[in-house]
Amino acid sequence: MRHAALTRWVLSPGLLLVCLLLTCPGLRAAPGHALTVYGEAPRYPATFQHFEYANPNAPKGGSLRRSALEIGQFDHVLPYIDKGIGVAEVDGWLYAPLAVRSQDEPYTVYGLVARQLERDPQGRWLRFYLDPRARFADGHPIRAEDVRYTFELLMREGNLKYRTQFADVERVEIEAPRQIRFHFKNNLNRTLPLDLATLPVLPEHWWKDHDFANGGGFEAPLGSGPYRIGRIDNGRSITFERDPNWWGRDLPVNRGRYNFDHLRIEYFGDTDVARQVLRGGGFDYNREFSATGYSIGYNSPALEDGRLQRAHLGKDAPQSAQGFVFNLQRPVFKDRRVRQALAMLWNFEWSNRQMMRNLYIRQQSFFSNSALAARALPDAGELALLAPLRGHVPDEVFNQVFEAPRTDGSGLIRDKQLQALALLQAAGWKPAGDQLVNDQGEPLRFTFLNGQAGFERLLLPWKRNLAQIGITLEIRRIDASQYVNRLMARDYDMIVTGYPVSPSPGLELYNYFGSAAANDPGSNNYMALQDPAVDRLIDGLVKASTQADMLRHAHALDRVLQWNYYWIPNYYPPGSSTVWWNRFGLPQVQASNDEGLDSWWEVSPTALTNAQMAERLKEQP
């Protein structure tokens, strides 16, 4: 009888549903310390004490001075608006986020201002439980009202990326003084909860009386993070001071991090000047974006004895996609054959050998150094995604693996020039004297807009190769402020640019490649690309419900971008190119996806040789 009763209970559909809802962990929302993209277990359990790439015994004190990542002077403090140049480090140093992203996982966030995070199993909402200890620097508690205020302020007056990332948020509900829930319009955006979790929290009681829309000017804002702003030298430098009483200093996500008492960011309008100032001891740390500068710009006795260090950090991180970008609004670049021909004539192998000591790796993908890159023929799943696009994308997408044009590095590229000429003639460009002209007699010529000193070295050999078959390339160098304005107006033929790559990409792809962003001055769609096939693949990638489906869409998107020759792919280093004076300690375990600078600490007030540093570190934990 007991067995029969149990059988009837199990077979009852209503009772079965109740059973599933009450007992199945995958269908029950539960607060947790972390969020992952697909609900997989995070690397660090709830009981973790510190990130592996942080030394919990690192001493506090000392200082670090570094150059800004941006070229030019900052004209306001906040980095959250589209106008001008803000101070990127405000995000994280001055303002603590709801949750912090780890630097040794593809995309996982761990609670900071939010002690716990709770995601609807069906993906329709996200709840934050704020840490009751969380305070702004003036002692005011961080409330759910501050979170809602920040979200609404960023959506109304902040950078375009917020309106793009959070377009699927339907409403924000304050459930308690320290509890807030974000309701979504749908459950199609798998990265939306993690993106929301990385939001900073701004103090409503301070910003309601200040000019957020213009970045707050040069006034030091009230923060909530490990540092306060100590001194602002308008446009030129900004100094952060560690808050020894920061409410979050002992949380596991922060142990061993934010060790310097003082951090100063120096701004330069010229990367060559920044390099020379570092060599002269004017600051401590430089992130190099010039291949030539990194390769030979620091050669000195100090580099030889170790007082100056040079290394590639974060070697496992996906590398930014850098390339020469065509403005597709220009008539000269409308024909894919023209873009392909121009790409054939940039001789990476010769430049890498002659100027960069063969240090760099050729870009083959928009997702370099990651699993997202399409580096094999499409499988059945990808072909199913691409099949509806046949006739709207190049045929090579379906049956070839893209390879950037390759030379022997000798500098002689006659074979490539002949291939380029054949493509150009098929596109309607014919020789006329020493020029190529179209049917209207207009010469094939374009201008490369350059905002970087020293970059001409990479352009001049290309200019020579083009001129040899009748194409005129003009290189125009302008200052940083003009450059930014012309980028926003799409007033250029070609530029060099980069696209940051996330191992779990999402809505930012609309900002880089989406048709709606082509003419938005705040977007990074510098190609002015408007391609329905690209839009469709981005839609599918963003809505993918599994990692496997996301990767299929990423590979398909990569192929379409590659074979359309929307850019001339450049190169990337084997990690982040960094140079610093040797007076800092680094954790034994390095962050795999980041330089990990916030986990360094001061060992000496002056630079040490390699031998001296080894002895000094023996004395430290």
Quick: pLDDT tens for 123-166.
999 999 999 999 999 999 999 999 999 999 999 999 988 998 89
Read off the pLDDT of each residue in 114-130 and give the average, rounded to a whole number: 97
pLDDT per residue over 539-585, tens digit each?
A: 999 888 888 999 999 999 999 999 999 999 999 888 889 999 999 99
Structure confidence at residue 496 (pLDDT)? 97
* Per-residue pLDDT tens over the stretch 201-230: 999 999 999 999 999 999 999 999 999 999
Q: Can you read off the two tokens belonging to residue 598? A: 């916030």
| Cα 51 to Cα 105, 245, 437, 504, 601, distances in angstroms | 11, 21, 61, 20, 16
Judged against a pLDDT cut of 90, whether residue 117 lies above it is answered with yes
Q: Are 370 and 577 in contact (CB under 8 A)?
A: no
From 154-168, 227-241, 386-400, the region with the lowest mean pLDDT:
154-168
- The Cβ of residue 478 has, within 10 Å, a number of other Cβ atoms equal to 14
pLDDT at 315 over 60: yes
Residues 6+ apart with CB under 8 A from 42: 33, 34, 35, 36, 102, 105, 108, 110
Residue 470 forms part of a structural domain = yes
pLDDT at 597: 95
Lowest-confidence region among 43-57, 174-188, 285-299: 285-299
CA distances from 223 to 171, 210, 245, 400 (A): 26, 14, 13, 52
HSE-CB of 196 using CA atoms within 13 angstroms: 30
290 and 342 in a common domain: no
Instruction: Reply yes or no on whether the pLDDT at 1 is more than 50.
Output: no
pLDDT at 266: 97
The residues, any chain, with a CB within 8 Å of residue 148's CB and separated by 6 or more, are 172, 174, 180
C-alpha–C-alpha distance, residues 554 and 538, integer Å: 8
Residues 555 and 582 in one domain: no
Helix (H, G, I), strand (E, B) or coil at 2: helix
Q: Which domain holds residue 70?
A: 25-214
Q: How many domains does the chain have?
A: 3
The pLDDT value recorded for residue 90 is 97
- 41 and 171, same structural domain? yes
Identify whether residues 343 and 381 lie together within a single domain.
yes
Predicted local distance difference test score (pLDDT) of residue 6: 28
Is residue 146 domain-resident?
Answer: yes
- 22 pLDDT tier (thresholds 50, 70, 90): very low
Cα 121 from Cα 25, distance rounded (Å): 9
Question: What would the mean pLDDT of 175-204 be, rounded to a whole number?
Answer: 95
Torsion of CA 129, 133, 136, 139, to 10 degrees: 140
Give me the chain's average pLDDT, please.
Answer: 92
pLDDT of residue 24: 40
Same domain, 305 and 339: no
Mean pLDDT on 401-415: 96
pLDDT of 621? 61
**pLDDT at residue 351, as a whole number:** 94
Residue 10 lies in a domain: no
pLDDT at residue 522 tops 60:
yes
428, 398: one domain: yes
For residue 174, CA distances in Å to 95, 146, 189 come to 21, 10, 22
| Average pLDDT of the segment spanning 435-460 | 94
CB 404 within 8 A of CB 362: yes
Residue 3 or residue 166, greater confidence: 166
- 504 pLDDT band, cuts 50/70/90, is confident
pLDDT at 29: 67
> What one-character-per-residue DSSP string does 206-226 give?
HHTTS-GGGTTTTSPPP--SS
- Percent of the chain predicted with pLDDT > 90: 80
Residue 5 lies in a domain: no
- Report if residue 545 sits inside a domain: yes
**558 within a domain of the structure (yes/no):** yes
Backbone φ and ψ of 460, nearest 5°? -60, -45
Worst-scoring range by mean pLDDT, 60-64, 301-305, 354-358, 491-495?
354-358
Q: H helices of 362-455, where?
A: 380-386, 396-399, 414-426
CATH number of the domain where residue 156 is located:
3.40.190.10
- Contact (CB, 8 A) for 447 and 491: no
Token pair belonging to 7: 């059988």
- The reply to whether 388 and 474 lie within a common domain is yes
Distance in angstroms (rounded) separating the CA atoms of residues 59 and 600: 10
Rounded to an integer, the average pLDDT of 229-252 is 96
| CB neighbourhood size of 262 (10 A) | 17
Angle at 305 between CA 302 and CA 307, to 5 degrees: 50
Length of the chain: 621
Mean of the pLDDT values across residues 176-199?
94
Statement to judge: residues 363 and 447 lie in one domain? yes
For 15-33, b/e burial (b = at least 16 CB within 10 A) is eeeeeeeeeeeeeeeeeeb
Position 43 in a domain: yes
343 and 358 housed in the same domain: yes
What's the confidence (pLDDT) of residue 26?
38
Q: Is residue 190 domain-shared with residue 175, that is, in the same domain?
A: yes
Return the C-alpha torsion angle 205, 210, 212, 214, nearest 10: -170
Mean pLDDT of 173-183: 98
Q: Specify the CATH number for the domain of residue 549.
A: 3.10.105.10
Based on the domain organization, do 325 and 377 belong to the same domain?
yes
Q: What is the mean pLDDT of residues 392-399?
A: 98
Does residue 2 belong to any structural domain of this protein? no
Asked if 584 and 595 sit in the same domain, the reply is yes
